[in-house]
Chain A
Amino acid sequence: MQLTGAQALIKSLEQQGVEVIFGLPGGAILPVYDPLLDSSIRHILVRHEQGAGHMAEGYALATGRPGVAMVTSGPGATNIVTPIGNAHMDSTPLVVITGQVASGSIGTDAFQECDITGITMGITKHNFLVKSAQEIPRAVAAAFHLATTGRPGPVLIDVPKDVTQSMMDWWYPSTVEEYDLPGYHPEVPLDEDAIALAVALISEAERPVLYVGGGTLKSRASAELLAFAERTKMPVVTTLMARGAFPDSHNQHLGMPGMHGMYTAVTAIQKSDLLISLGARFDDRVTGKIPAFAAGAKVIHVDIDRAEFNKVRHADVAIQSNVAAALRAFDAASASPKSLDSWWKQIRAWQEQYPLVYEEASTEGLLRPQHVIEAIAAKAAPGTIVASGVGQHQMWASQFWKYEEPGTWINSGGAGTMGFGVPAAIGAKVGRPDRTVWCIDGDGCFQMTAQELVTARLEGIPIKVAILNNAYLGMVRQWQEMFYEERYSEVYLSADLPDYVKWAEAMGCVGLRATNLKEMHDVIEEANRINDVPVVIDFRTDSSEKVFPMVAAGASNDDIMVHPLQRGVSK
């Protein structure tokens, strides 16, 4: 069967089971958009290529399947660099297809030419410049294989226009050998010696903590984690990238560790004698000052990526494995710590003394952002998915929402990409149309990518957006207040401009506003009644509200600052 390269590209995506592409056409990718008309694959036309990338990420994080985005060359390609970098930091499986100028024009500074494989070399798991139409099926199959196996990540396929326009004899690789990836071996056999060493360390532990990272979600190891944790009775912390990997309602769950983690989660790690890292990478936002991080703990480090071992923290035992397989091996060896009764007694005392708190607002005063999140959560359908941008609202959304299952918390962790929330929520809703999707956003983040609500309205993707509008770039404001003597530099945004209600309405969404407690409850109920169009709510929140607990950048986790309401109480 003779096909054009463009037809082969679309057919290859169909072979991979792709159900949706987020994209925006342009000159160099034009040939591919023609056969798309005849394909079963849904295409969602974004308003900016960054939106396409974050939607694909949101889709991937909500479904566990790779997200697919397609854009044109030059600025189309550079506009999607931020989502690619974001996906790289968070190990999110993404396949990004970029058009490229015709092969003969590459290197001539042709119109809309840019070296996107060069630009993304350091922020993709791998990328391809496809040189002939005949090679398209192999590139697509290899891209999906790379994106989804081992440590997942973004893969970019750059396709010159003459390649998509030329003819090829249809074929599709049926085995991994045909992908032609002689240097790629994502799975290694479990090191039984390392497992035995880990089991021995576990058996000696008196104060163990299961430090659960995003790799636990990526390897779909939640069931194994629950079984292992319940059998061994060990306390669990879930990082920002792992929220939902272990139920927040579980009484062994201490919450999120790190810079804005729960006091007990942070302190239990600090005082632990054994840290079992499951798909986590000792990020600086978790460790604080590295030499002071869990200084008395031995470390068992489970990761599929061996380059994570000893990168930040020495691993007493390193186990290169996906998390699920390692946990099954621990269970098979009946790995069990000593009695944890006194450890739990200590943990419960910390929990009692330093729960997560905020100050109640007066009836007429500005809203407390934490309260808004709790109020939304209280009325949210079970299984609601929450996406967020980056900043204070993100931390509160992680702290005050209870995540019970994988894929319900979608955020930008490693890169900290403002503007991630709205498009990621859209992508999540596309992937899980059965679920309610709330975007908890900040006013600064919202203004970066809000135009995608036009996409959502036109494509029938009814997400709900809660803007915690404190009129500031709140996290930067918090740092300026705490560490720069309240010298506020370029952080004020205005609560009233833009008018978020009018803006929402102009984009075909329902726009609502709440300035006090009564309005807060009313608009949440109203938003919950609307299921056909996107809803945007402008919650007016108190700009002086800060995220606590907090470990200052570079400080030891021992110096965690609790909420002012809890200060003066002896530890």
Chain B
Amino acid sequence: MSATPEPFLGTTDHTPVRHHILSVLVENKAGVLARIAGLFARRGFNIYSLAVAPAESGARFSRVTIVVDAESAPLEQIVGQLDKLVNVVAISDLSPKDALERELLLATIQTNVDNRTSLLDIIASAGAAIVDVDARSVTVMLAATPGGCDELERALEAFADVELHRTGRVALPRLGKTASA
């Protein structure tokens, strides 16, 4: 997806120091994601994560939440160029301190009698939920801050066989704060 220099499933905090969250309302048309990705690629802007889903207005618009590396290019450039894409309807820029950020993590962990108890402890302390279970494995879900997801991910490194997916974050302004357009 992006030219991110670090692997997505890193062992440390995924979030760069100077990240910004762009909440981008786009027309729900074929190729819109390619236009955004192509713009970031050709202008050398780095994307840390990207989440796309239909927006509140139904099928006509989608909301793309992009976590950008504001060190790869000035934010003003990224927003200005993004705004020129005809299918981009609105951009709001959320500074991390003003944003409520959440991310979904799903992980399936192979377990055995020896480690099942410690796994259950980790799940409980992270506030994650068990969503599927069988004799040899457990699937857990966590909806939390990106940092909370990072912590669970690190804790699960103790297990040999883990399949883990994260969605990338979505965000809204904190109450009393507004995003800048």
Contact = CB atoms under 8 A, between A and B. Distances in A.
Contacts of A307: 77, 80-81, 83-84
Interface string B32-59: 0011001100100000000000000000
B157 interface: no
B86 interface: yes
B75 to A, nearest CB: 11
Interface string A117-138: 1100110011001000000000
Nearest to A320: B80
A183 B77 contact: no
A427 to B, nearest CB: 26
A181 B30 contact: no
Contact of A182 (B27, B31, B38): B27
Interface in B44-91: 74, 76-77, 80-81, 83-90
B61 to A, nearest CB: 8
A316 to B, nearest CB: 15
Residue of B38, B81, B86 with most chain A CB atoms under a 10 A cut-off:
B86
A184 interface: yes
Contacts of A121: 31, 34-35, 38
Contacts of A122: 38-39, 42
A305 interface: yes
A306 interface: yes
Interface string A287-329: 0000000000000000001110111000000000000000000
Nearest to A150: B84
A47 B76 CA distance: 44
Contact of B87 (A117, A183, A305): A183
B26 interface: yes
A305 B82 CA distance: 12
Contacts of A129: 30-31
Contacts of B87: 126, 183
A183 B76 contact: no
A125 B86 contact: yes
Contact of B77 (A118, A181, A311): A311
A229 interface: no
Contacts, number: 45
A182 B80 contact: no
A310 B42 contact: no
Nearest to A318: B76
Nearest to A118: B34
Interface in B75-134: 76-77, 80-81, 83-90
A307 B81 CA distance: 6
B55 to A, nearest CB: 12
Nearest to A184: B86
Contacts of A125: 84, 86
Interface size for chain B: under 10, 10 to 19, 20 to 34, or 35 or more residues? 20 to 34
B21 to A, nearest CB: 19
Contacts of B35: 121
A182 B88 CA distance: 8
B31 A183 contact: no
B38 A306 contact: no
B31 A306 contact: no
Contacts of A183: 26-27, 85-90
B31 A181 contact: no
Contact of A305 (B84, B86, B90): B84
A307 B90 CA distance: 15
Interface in A169-227: 181-184
A183 B81 CA distance: 13
A146 interface: yes
A129 B87 CA distance: 14
A107 to B, nearest CB: 12
A122 B84 CA distance: 12
A146 B87 CA distance: 12
A173 to B, nearest CB: 16
Contacts of A310: 74, 76-77
B10 to A, nearest CB: 30
A126 B86 CA distance: 7
B60 to A, nearest CB: 8
B76 A309 contact: yes
Nearest to A155: B86
A117 B30 CA distance: 11
B41 to A, nearest CB: 9
B54 to A, nearest CB: 15
B23 to A, nearest CB: 14
A181 B86 contact: yes
Contacts of B30: 129
Contacts of B26: 183
B76 A117 contact: no
A306 B86 contact: no
A509 to B, nearest CB: 41
Nearest to A153: B84
Interface string A99-130: 00000000000000000011001100110010
Contacts of B34: 118, 121
A305 B79 CA distance: 12
A146 B38 contact: no
A302 to B, nearest CB: 15
Contact of B86 (A117, A146, A309, A311): A146
Most buried by B among A118, A129, A182, A183: A183
Interface in A75-117: 117
A311 B84 CA distance: 14
B81 to A, nearest CB: 5
B80 A306 contact: yes
A195 B31 CA distance: 39
A160 to B, nearest CB: 13
Given A121-B31, A307-B77, 8 more contacts: A117-B31, A122-B39, A122-B42, A126-B86, A183-B85, A183-B88, A307-B84, A310-B77
23 contacts: A117-B31, A118-B34, A121-B31, A121-B35, A125-B84, A125-B86, A126-B87, A129-B30, A129-B31, A146-B86, A183-B26, A183-B85, A183-B87, A183-B88, A183-B89, A184-B86, A305-B80, A307-B81, A307-B84, A309-B80, A310-B74, A310-B76, A310-B77
Listed from nearest, the 9 A-B pairs whose CB atoms lie closest are: A307-B80, A183-B89, A126-B86, A183-B88, A307-B81, A182-B89, A306-B80, A122-B42, A184-B86
Interface of A: 117-118, 121-122, 125-126, 129, 146, 181-184, 305-307, 309-311
Interface of B: 26-27, 30-31, 34-35, 38-39, 42, 74, 76-77, 80-81, 83-90
